Structure 1
Amino acid sequence: MSEREHQELAGLAHLLERIEQAPRRDNGRAQLGDLLASVGQGSFGTLLLVPGVITLFPLVGDIPGVPTLMALLVLLVAGQLLIGRRTFWLPQWLLKRSVSRAKLDKAVAWMRKPARAIDRLLKPRLPWLTQRAGTYLIAIVCFLIALAMPLMEVVPFSANGAGLALMMFGLSLMANDGLWALLALILTGGTVGGVAYTLL
């Protein structure tokens, strides 16, 4: 199964634009459901990229509870892909969770310039890591990352490392860039190893 069949975004910079264009609610909050509806949620790559970027964002990813919320999203999506679903279902209670819109806007502005640089580095290569069996390998690894993310909230910066890995996996699927998937696998091993060393 190729994730390029339902590609909805042109890259990380485009994702940030879509997040910025998501509906603005009167209570000053940004609901997860609004963000996903804005960026599109038809592909596994997109549904990894969104929680990865939110967890990586400064001001947002460090808010207590946000990494765990993003982990729940990844668990649900990766789990559904592993059992063979081609479309993804998410519960309303999760979609209605929200973060500060002001902090989200600041984080998007901070990340816009590096996003353009990252997009220039993406290109199709090592397709065996991002298609068919490779997609399921990525889903398994992301499922394991999500299981570990609640523990990462007590280890400084480790949740940001998990967010970076999820973002890289999402980009690798969207761009069919297996090199990024390989780098994300290495980053995952280092992050999980560091958390295990700290907690044990």
Structure 2
Amino acid sequence: MSDRNDGSTLMDLIALMERMEQDAQRVSVNNVVHAIGRRSFGPLLLVAGLITLAPIIGDIPGMPTLMATLVLLVSVQLLAGRETFWLPQWLLKRSISQPKFDKGLRLMKKPARWIDGLLRVRLPWLTGYIGIRVTAVVCLLIALAMPPMEFVPFSANGAGLALSLLGLGLVARDGLMLLLGFVLFGATCTLILVGLL
């Protein structure tokens, strides 16, 4: 589901975000969505996961909840059969400073190259029509779980990593990455529940 050449690697996605148009000295959600496309479910998930994980960016209070809102809206619309995702203006206008965004991208480059070397087409049936819908349901559950996770140390990082794996799986058509994302989210929720009991 893509309306532009998104590329099939994490480095391609980072390059898209580096080249995107920005408003003055701020980078908005709208800038990112415009750069990767409004039909790009996999890249949107991946970006939301990476932003949640990224040092400096993901540590901003409320950022995991903002990314959860993005994932929730996109997942519900995908399940409803929409091909172009609608996002409210208040979400699209949210922004961070250009220097923070650029620093976060720079820190992601080294691990991105290593991760790209691991990706390949595997278990492609998991990235087909039904697999994408199952992934959307899991993403919806992750999005609902993320706001409370902000109060449990490091749990939002688990959710961000799960979203990143799911996004990578869809972008690279790597079903193994999807399975790892499902398992990681399940493990994160289990650890949180055990910790609360």
TM, length-normalised to structure 2: 0.94
Residue matched to 2:184: 187
Once the two structures are overlaid, the 10-residue window that deviates more, 66-75 or 45-54, is 45-54
Structure 2 CA distance for aligned equivalents of residues 57 and 70 of structure 1 = 12
Taking the TM superposition and a 5 Å limit, the aligned residue runs for 1:26-175 are: 26=24, 28-175=25-172
SS across alignment from 1:30: strand
Quote the Cα distance in structure 2 between the aligned partners of 1:181 and 1:30.
Answer: 29
Structure 1 unpaired stretches of 5+: none
* Deviation of 1:5 (Å): 8.4
Q: Distance in 2 between matches of 1:197 and 1:99?
A: 35
Q: Helix, strand or coil for the counterpart of 1:8? A: coil
Counterpart contact for 1:7–1:174, Cα < 8 Å: no
Identity value in percent = 54
Amino acid at match of 2:85: F
Question: How far 1:41 sits from its partner (Å)?
Answer: 2.8
Provide the TM-score with structure 1 as the length reference: 0.92
1:8 to 1, 6, 20: 6
Q: C-alpha distance in 2, partners of 1:21/1:4? A: 18
| Alignment root-mean-square deviation, CA | 1.6
Point out where structure 2 has 5 or more consecutive residues left out of the alignment.
none
The answer (yes or no) to whether the contact 1:32–1:95 under 8 Å persists in 2 is yes
Count of matched residue positions in the alignment of Structure 1 and Structure 2? 197
